[in-house]
């Protein structure tokens, strides 16, 4: 059986970026990879492709540009080929529409070689020299390395898990499936959105815009102390840098886990423009007399939830963290904008003995993003937030990570790997440490 240099499982933006950056190496006969995706076509968060939603990062954070600005798989190349480059230029915004980014990725996925759709990986084994990747189609792929890009899955807090799939007239959905349920939600008398990140704000803004035409009441609640904007100042953005990733990875595990809780607002907040747009929409509807009939609650934790099948609603048991008051809310529509969590594929069980883990059972991710005991055999994409911090989910750092992974596979840098880009220093500078030792 032919042995590929690597098999990449899952086709989100990060593994798609790897396909784009490895394409010149493939055509040059230097590196042969195959990409397996269970779905029949590329789709990036289809449930949240709202008409006016934009990325929270500039267009430079595409599949390839930060590694290879000359690549034919860049976002600008996509715009040029589709006749959209001048309209994008005239628009004068660095932030692509989310639908536009999804279409860009699909364009690349349908053009790049080595991508196989409809290949659901069922299990993986190792025969002593290579990995055997088995697909539900009956085909087996043999490779010296694996790259795991299976993505994240919707996270639902334990207090709400019982109502997500409950039967009855109430409409309950995770924000990942919002668009598929939007019309049914808008037929309810009250809709409640739980969460305070970008997805929650986009759903709330979309429902608030349509509220005058439907007459429903709208509730937005979060356990956070406020609806905070994502911090987007330039020195904070330097934390998405190679040197911060190296610094964070070297910290003790307990410190990294504490920082993971403290730093969430750096990449899980709401864009400032959307916060302002929500406030402006409230004012507009107040002036025109169209409402709004809405309630925004902070410091509010969902302690439990239950379905009322006869009344056709969901009761949320709530606690206000500051006042300590317990109360309840009945809603006919419920959107859980409660984020996403890392996914560990079941198919890895056959090679579990080759996976390196930390004291808490998570991937022990090396500097080159490998997680295997031998090193340089099993790589992960966006499964290293606990080791590399906010670099893991950042689209702009995807090309950097892929440059590192490719360098590990090749034994050389096919694309320059930046070592230092930030003005600030993370940790104690070497020259000050030397002075202190005198």
| Domain boundaries defined on the chain | 3-151+343-410, 154-230+268-336
Q: What is the pLDDT of residue 276?
A: 95
Q: What is the pLDDT of residue 65?
A: 98
**Please, what is the angle between helix 98-109 and helix 13-27, to 10°?**
30
pLDDT along the chain (438 residues), means of 10: 93 98 95 97 95 93 98 98 97 95 98 97 96 97 97 92 83 96 96 95 97 95 91 89 94 94 80 94 91 92 90 92 96 95 92 96 96 97 94 95 98 96 90 76
Same fold, 3-151+343-410 and 154-230+268-336: yes
Query: What's the pLDDT tens digit per position in 42-69?
Result: 999 999 999 999 998 999 999 999 999 9
Beta bridge partners of 330: 315
Distance CA(301)–CA(146), nearest Å, equals 40
Residue of 434, 408, 361 lying closest to 31 (CA atoms): 408
Return the pLDDT at 231: 84
Q: First and final CA of the chain: distance in angstroms? A: 61
Instruction: Give the CATH number of domain 154-230+268-336.
Output: 3.50.50.60
Evaluate whether 2 touches 29 at the Cβ level (below 8 Å). no
Evaluate the CA torsion angle 68, 71, 74, 79 in order and state its sign: positive
Give bridge partners of residue 361 from the DSSP assignment: none
Residue 12: per-residue pLDDT? 96
pTM over 0.75: yes
What integer pLDDT is reported at residue 343 of this predicted model?
86
Cβ 13 vs Cβ 153: under 8 Å: no
- Region 3-151+343-410: CATH code: 3.50.50.60
């Amino acid at each position: 059986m032919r042995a590929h240099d690597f098999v990449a499982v899952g086709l989100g933006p990060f593994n798609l970026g790897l396909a784009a950056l490895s394409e010149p190496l493939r055509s040059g006969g230097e590196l042969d990879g195959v990409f397996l995706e269970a779905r029949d076509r590329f789709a990036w968060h289809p449930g949240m492709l709202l008409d006016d939603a934009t990325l929270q990062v500039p267009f430079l954070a595409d599949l390839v540009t930060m590694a290879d600005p000359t690549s034919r798989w860049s976002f600008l190349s996509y715009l040029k080929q589709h006749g959209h480059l001048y309209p994008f230029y005239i628009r004068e915004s660095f932030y692509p529409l989310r639908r536009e980014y999804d279409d860009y990725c699909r364009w690349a996925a349908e053009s790049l070689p080595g991508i196989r759709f409809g290949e659901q990986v069922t299990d993986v084994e190792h025969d002593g020299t290579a990995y055997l990747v088995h697909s539900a189609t009956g085909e087996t792929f043999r490779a010296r390395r694996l790259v795991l890009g299976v993505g994240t899955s919707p996270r639902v807090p334990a207090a709400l898990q019982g109502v997500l799939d409950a039967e009855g007239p109430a409409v309950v959905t995770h924000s990942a499936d919002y668009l598929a349920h939007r019309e049914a939600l808008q037929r309810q008398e009250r809709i409640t959105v739980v969460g305070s990140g970008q997805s929650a704000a986009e759903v709330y803004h979309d429902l608030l815009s349509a509220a005058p035409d439907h007459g429903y009441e709208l509730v937005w609640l979060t356990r956070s102390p406020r609806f905070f904007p994502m911090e987007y100042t330039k020195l904070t953005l330097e934390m998405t840098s190679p040197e911060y990733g190296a610094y964070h990875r070297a910290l003790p595990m307990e410190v990294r886990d504490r920082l993971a809780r403290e730093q969430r607002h750096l990449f899980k907040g709401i864009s400032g423009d959307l916060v302002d747009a929500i406030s402006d929409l409230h004012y507009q509807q107040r002036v025109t007399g169209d409402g709004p009939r809405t309630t925004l609650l902070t410091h509010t934790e969902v302690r439990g939830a239950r379905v009322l099948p006869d009344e056709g609603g969901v009761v949320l048991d709530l606690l206000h963290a500051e006042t300590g008051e317990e109360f309840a809310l009945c809603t006919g529509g419920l959107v859980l904008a409660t984020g996403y969590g890392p996914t560990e594929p079941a198919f890895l069980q056959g090679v579990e003995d080759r996976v390196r883990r930390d004291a808490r059972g998570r991937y022990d991710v090396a500097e080159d993003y490998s997680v295997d005991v031998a090193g340089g055999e099993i790589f992960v994409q966006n499964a290293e937030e606990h080791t590399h911090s906010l670099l893991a989910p950042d689209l702009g750092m995807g090309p950097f990570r892929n440059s590192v992974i490719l360098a590990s596979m090749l034994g050389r840098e096919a694309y320059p790997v930046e070592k230092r880009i930030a003005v600030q220093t993370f940790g104690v500078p070497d020259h000050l440490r030397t002075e202190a030792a005198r």
